[in-house]
């Protein structure tokens, strides 16, 4: 075979390779990418819980069965599920990135952190359960600051319009999973608080009874002192000196008596609040169990809100006292706040757009690469004798 025919065969092979490359580049390898940013404020622990739930294969299949992405066939849907399970479709958007932390002064970052902590304290004070817990136990709660401002979604499909639709669908999916996880976490807190109250109620009641007995004994003793020493009542505003403690001054018996009586009043108020909470807990144990079952059966966030709200409404018919009605109203408000936070407030601050250019490798690049590969292979086959002689050991010595 002469040189001209070999070159012609190489050219034809290159054209065939280009055709194959075009089929691959405009077929399976053609991918368009669309991105969107959803504004939803979360802490680190909240994002981890939500992302773990959203990346679960069973969860995404259940959501696809109820709300399938528009415009995708079964093959694309299965591919989407695999991409979601990998967890690379969403990334959190931090409030302060590493670059911001390097550029911003430390004072500004500290002020931002203090402002967020102040917001969290206000939210905690606004909750009735938080106010009662703070008044009864007088302990500081660990506040979790908001770390992430939102989530960035990425969708890759073979059609640019489908890429934008899938990115929007991923945003709706994340919102729904965030709502589902938030409701489950809220119900878990209800269950934990109910069990904790059952375990600690008797102990707290005995403690209050002991404290009030001690305060009453102290008040009785102070009244006896005032009766035995009438002058102490007339000198109630002056300081009394204890000679046994290096003339250390302490409050007068009348002031101590007022303090003891005030302490008795305060302890009785605590006992009344404990009785009120016990009245509320008569419904909470069964309500928490049923709400936990309803939240576990729900496969979507909106379904969990509906099911748990139905449980609260059902127990609202059984409430007979103001304390029970107040508790149920508080639970309904918690569900409403969760719905607003993860369903109503989240919105796209960067809408997923239809991409103009495909992802690399682009079709033209694939055509060129496959054409070159085909040409090289055909040339290697046609000039195989020359290549074998060149690669054979000692061929260069023979020619010399």
Contact 151, 92 (CB under 8 A): yes
Which sequence spans correspond to the domains of the chain? Answer: 3-12+15-22+364-399, 30-187, 198-342
pTM over 0.85: no
pLDDT at 247: 47
For residues 118 and 103, give the distance between their C-alpha atoms in angstroms, rounded to a whole number.
24
pLDDT for the residue numbered 279 = 85
The pLDDT of residue 174 is 95
Distance CA 123, CA 190 (A): 18
Eight-state DSSP code of residue 341: I
How far apart are alpha carbons 191 and 287 in whole angstroms?
9
Q: Answer whether 342's CB lies under 8 Å from 152's CB.
A: no
Looking at 298-392, list the stretches that DSSP marks H as alpha helix, in order from N- to C-terminal side: 301-316, 322-339, 363-382, 384-391
Q: Which of 34, 167, 82, 87 is nearest to 74 (CA)?
A: 82
The first and second tokens of residue 166, run together, are 């899938």
What Cα–Cα distance (Å) separates residue 291 from each residue in 58, 204, 321, 397? 22, 27, 21, 88
**pLDDT digits (tens), the chain, 400 positions:** 678 888 888 888 888 888 887 777 677 777 888 999 999 999 888 999 999 999 999 999 999 998 999 888 888 899 899 999 999 899 998 876 555 555 555 544 555 566 666 666 665 555 544 444 434 443 333 344 667 889 999 998 888 899 999 999 999 999 999 999 999 999 999 998 888 888 787 888 888 888 888 888 888 887 887 777 776 555 554 555 444 455 455 667 777 777 888 888 888 888 888 888 888 888 888 899 999 999 999 989 999 999 999 999 999 998 888 989 999 999 999 999 999 999 989 999 989 989 888 877 777 787 888 888 888 888 888 787 777 777 777 555 455 4
What pLDDT score was predicted for residue 184? 94
């Amino acid at each position: 075979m002469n040189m001209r025919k070999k070159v012609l065969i190489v050219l034809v092979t290159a054209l065939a390779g280009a055709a194959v490359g075009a089929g691959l580049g405009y077929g399976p390898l053609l991918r368009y990418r669309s991105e969107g940013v959803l504004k939803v404020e979360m802490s680190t622990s909240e994002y981890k819980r939500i992302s773990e739930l959203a990346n679960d294969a069973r969860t995404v299949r259940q959501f696809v069965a109820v709300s399938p992405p528009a415009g995708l066939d079964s093959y694309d849907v299965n591919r989407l599920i695999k991409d979601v399970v990998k967890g690379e479709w969403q990334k959190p958007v931090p409030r302060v990135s590493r670059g911001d932390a390097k550029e911003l002064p430390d004072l500004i970052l500290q002020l931002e952190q203090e402002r967020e902590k102040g917001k969290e304290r206000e939210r905690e004070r606004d909750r009735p359960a938080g106010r009662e817990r703070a008044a009864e136990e007088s302990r500081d709660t660990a506040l979790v600051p908001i770390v992430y401002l939102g989530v960035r979604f990425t969708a890759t499909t073979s059609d640019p319009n489908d890429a934008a639709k899938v990115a929007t669908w991923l945003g709706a999916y994340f919102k729904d999973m965030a709502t589902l996880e938030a409701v489950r976490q809220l119900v878990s807190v209800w269950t934990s608080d109910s069990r904790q109250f059952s375990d600690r109620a008797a102990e707290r009641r005995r403690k209050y009874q002991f404290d009030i007995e001690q305060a009453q004994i102290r008040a009785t003793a102070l009244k006896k002192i005032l009766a035995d020493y009438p002058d102490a009542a007339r000198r109630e505003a002056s300081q009394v000196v204890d000679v046994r403690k290096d003339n250390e001054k302490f409050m007068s018996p009348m002031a101590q008596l007022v303090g003891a009586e005030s302490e008795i009043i305060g302890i009785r108020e605590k006992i009344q609040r404990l009785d009120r909470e016990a009245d509320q807990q008569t419904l909470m144990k069964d309500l928490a169990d049923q709400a936990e079952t309803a939240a576990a059966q729900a496969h979507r966030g909106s379904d969990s809100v509906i099911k748990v709200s139905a449980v609260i409404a059902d127990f609202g018919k059984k409430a007979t006292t103001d304390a029970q009605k107040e508790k149920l109203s508080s639970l309904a408000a918690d569900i409403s706040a969760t719905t607003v936070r993860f369903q109503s407030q989240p919105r796209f601050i960067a809408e997923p757009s239809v991409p103009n250019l495909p992802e690399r490798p682009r079709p033209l690049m694939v055509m060129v690469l496959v054409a070159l590969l085909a040409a090289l292979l055909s040339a290697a086959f046609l000039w195989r004798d020359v290549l074998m002689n060149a690669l054979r050991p000692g061929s260069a010595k023979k020619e010399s």
